């Protein structure tokens, strides 16, 4: 229990002063007798034994009313937690170059698996999925239903879109998905293994559009410059594996990230790719705000009502049972 106005409690020091004043003011009743033997056998009455009750009730009443004035109250501490999520678009290259085997089993499968793990680690964020090759389309709009998102991500296949690498178009599509977002933090994570060679929108223009609405773009260049690639199948149906050269436009990816306040990463193996997603996960944490507040329950009535009752009772006793004869 605590008091809203504890200063009133200092008035309790007046109680002993009032008591002393009452005792001194009280006149001692006496009468003369010639022989004390006349008092033998005279028994004290209840009235004489409890003459102090009205005074005691008054003092207790004053004390209780003073405590009531100090506003005693109990409190319960409450905690209100609000989470401010982030809107994230995963933009994934699904062109046939992602078949390269410098990741196990290939770049495409490794990128899918790492993205799935990234989604599992997020909470309270809306995440969407955009895939691209020579064209781009939205595989999953922004959602907090991670189960549906993971299912749709798992169903993505290469060669379901016209081949090529339309990075600018993919970014424009991703940014457009975030245009109506109310979130204070909007992010695109672009993963590709090539250079922009398709689409009518150049990546720089898409990056400027992203920066205009405060969208950060993290770009990931995946794969080595030379890697084994399943070129086709032989007469017996076995894969023909050849080593091919791959070109990743690191300069362009770096400029996209810089324009939007993001960061460019280079992943040449699965360990690096996992670390990149871990770092992005650490950089883009949702904000958790906790407010503490107290709920008070006033207890002054528990003291005021008994105080008033005792005060009334003392006045009644003074004027009835303990009334002094004139």
CATH of the domain at 203: 3.40.50.410
CA torsion angle for 49, 51, 55, 58 (degrees, to 10)? 90
Q: Is residue 290 in some structural domain?
A: no
Residue 41 has pLDDT above 80, yes or no: no
Question: Is 257 in the same domain as 150?
Answer: yes
Residue 11 lies in a domain: yes
Note whether residue 154 is domain-resident.
yes
* Residues 181 and 307 occupy one common structural domain: no
For residues 313 and 259, state if they share a domain: no
Same domain, 313 and 251: no
The residue-averaged pLDDT of 93-100 equals 96
The pLDDT > 70 percentage for the chain reads 87
- Do 128 and 199 fall within a single domain? yes
Give the burial string for 171-180 (b: 16+ CB within 10 Å, else e).
bbbbbbbbee
The verdict on 244 and 135 lying in the same domain is yes
Cα Dmax for the chain: 147
Residue 27 in any domain: the answer is: yes
Cis peptide leading into residue 170 (ω within 30°): no
Higher pLDDT, 127 or 184: 127
Residue range 157-180: mean pLDDT, rounded: 95
Report the candidate in 271, 263, 122 with the shortest Cα–Cα distance to residue 188: 263
- Check whether residue 145 and residue 108 sit in a common domain: yes
* Integer Cα distance of 8 and 14 in angstroms: 11
Lowest mean pLDDT among 23-27, 170-174, 185-189, 199-203: 23-27
Residues 107 and 129 in one domain: yes
Give the residue numbers spanning the domain of 302.
2-34+44-77+297-319
The per-residue pLDDT of the chain, averaged, comes to 88
110 and 226 in a single domain? The answer is: yes
Residue 166 lies in a domain: yes
Query: Could you tell me if 311 and 281 lie in one domain?
Result: no
The count of structural domains within the chain is 2
Q: Assess whether pLDDT exceeds 60 at residue 308.
A: yes
Half-sphere exposure of 254 (CA within 13 A, CB side): 5
1 Cβ contact list (under 8 Å, min separation 6):
72, 73, 74, 299
Cite the DSSP H helix spans in the chain: 14-25, 46-49, 53-69, 107-120, 146-154, 167-178, 203-212, 250-260, 270-283, 301-319
Residue 150 placed within a domain:
yes
Residue 291 belongs to some domain of the structure: no
The secondary structure of 219-266 as a DSSP string is: EEEES-SEEEEEEEE-TTS-EEEEEEE----HHHHHHHHHHHT--EEE
The pTM (predicted TM-score) of the whole model is 0.66
222 and 273 both lie in a single domain? yes
User: What region does 159 belong to: left with phi over 0, alpha with psi -120 to 50, or beta?
Assistant: left
How far apart are the C-alpha atoms of 85 and 267, rounded to whole Å?
27
| Lowest mean pLDDT, pick from 33-42, 181-190, 191-200 | 33-42
* Residues 306, 202 within the same domain: no
Cα-Cα end-to-end distance for the chain: 48
Q: Is residue 39 part of a domain?
A: no
The pLDDT of residue 100: 96
């Amino acid at each position: 229990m605590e008091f809203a106005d504890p200063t009133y409690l200092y008035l309790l020091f007046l109680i002993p002063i009032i008591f002393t004043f009452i005792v001194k003011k009280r006149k001692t009743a006496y009468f003369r007798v010639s022989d004390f033997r006349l008092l033998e056998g005279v028994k004290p009455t209840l009235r004489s034994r409890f003459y102090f009750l009205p005074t005691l009730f008054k003092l207790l009443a004053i004390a209780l009313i003073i405590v009531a004035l100090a506003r005693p109250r109990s409190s319960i501490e409450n905690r209100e937690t609000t989470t401010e999520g982030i809107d994230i678009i995963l933009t994934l290259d699904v062109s046939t170059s992602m078949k390269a085997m410098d990741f196990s089993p290939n770049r495409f499968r490794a990128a899918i698996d790492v993205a799935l793990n990234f989604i599992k680690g997020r909470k309270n964020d809306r995440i969407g999925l955009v895939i691209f090759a020579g064209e781009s389309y939205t595989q999953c709009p922004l959602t907090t239903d991670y189960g549906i998102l993971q299912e749709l991500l798992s169903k993505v296949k290469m060669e379901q879109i016209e081949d090529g690498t339309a990075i600018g178009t993919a970014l424009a599509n991703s940014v457009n998905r975030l245009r109506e977002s109310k979130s204070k933090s909007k992010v695109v994570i672009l993963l590709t293994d090539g250079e922009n060679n398709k689409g009518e929108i150049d990546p720089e223009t898409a990056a400027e559009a992203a920066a205009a609405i405060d969208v950060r773009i993290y770009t990931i260049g995946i794969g080595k410059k030379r890697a084994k690639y399943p070129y086709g199948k032989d007469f017996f149906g076995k894969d023909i594996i050849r080593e091919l050269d791959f070109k990743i436009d690191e300069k362009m990816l770096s400029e996209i990230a810089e324009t939007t306040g993001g960061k460019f990463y280079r992943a040449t193996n699965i360990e690096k790719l996992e670390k990149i997603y871990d770092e992005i996960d650490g950089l883009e944490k949702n904000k958790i705000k906790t407010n503490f507040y107290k709920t008070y329950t006033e207890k002054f009535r528990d003291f005021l009502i008994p105080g008033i009752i005792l005060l009334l009772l003392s006045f009644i006793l003074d004027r009835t049972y303990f009334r002094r004869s004139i």
